[in-house]
Amino acid sequence: NKSVLEHAPCSVGILVDKCNLHSPVVGQSFWNSAQQFAVLFLGGADAREALAYADRILGNEDVCVSVVRFLSHNSRGDNEFEKKLDDGMVTWFWVKNETNERVIYREVVVRNGAETIAAIQSMNDDSYDLVIVGRKRGVNPVLLEGLSNWSQDNE
């Protein structure tokens, strides 16, 4: 997966089917019930693309999508141009889906990468079958501040 992500010329989704891999029909259990997908919206062009994917996925009535938008406290580190594009995309998505009971939208305000990780970890209760995240283009660096140290400490 790491090699695919490092060399892909476009967005890539990695779906991990948590069913019994010894089943005679691997993956069949995945689509037998409603699927819970999450979008971690960190901002920027890649996050906007991830949100567009989520919108397309909602065409399947067996899918529920939770969108969590991460915002920096007091807009610290925001690129105003990217923020306007993000606001426009999120507004479009929400207006289109605000009456859709299969969509949940919430915003989380964080001060640094540690708070970003804490918010993501609080979601890690195995309730999501797929998590969609934009890669890196246009992400507010404040949302990722200190993550490289955290990642190295947890290897």
Separation of CA 82 from chain center: 17
pLDDT for res 26: 46
DSSP code, position 54: H
| pLDDT per position as a tens digit, 32-51 | 578 999 999 999 999 999 99
Fold topology of 32-150: Rossmann fold (3.40.50)
Q: How far apart, in whole angstroms, are the C-alpha atoms of residue 55 and residue 64?
A: 11
Q: How far apart, in whole angstroms, are the C-alpha atoms of residue 11 and residue 27?
A: 23
Q: How far apart, in whole angstroms, are the C-alpha atoms of residue 113 and residue 130?
A: 22
Helices (H) and strands (E) in the chain, counts: 5, 4
Q: How far apart, in whole angstroms, are the C-alpha atoms of residue 29 and residue 76?
A: 44
pLDDT for res 22: 47
Domain boundaries, the chain: 32-150
Residue 11 near residue 45 (C-beta atoms within 8 A) = no
pLDDT for res 146: 76
- Decide the pairing of beta strands 103-110 and 130-133: unpaired
Residue 67 near residue 93 (C-beta atoms within 8 A) = yes
Question: Degrees (nearest 5) of the Cα angle 22, 26, 29?
Answer: 105
Residues of the chain with pLDDT under 70: 1-2, 5, 10-32, 147-155
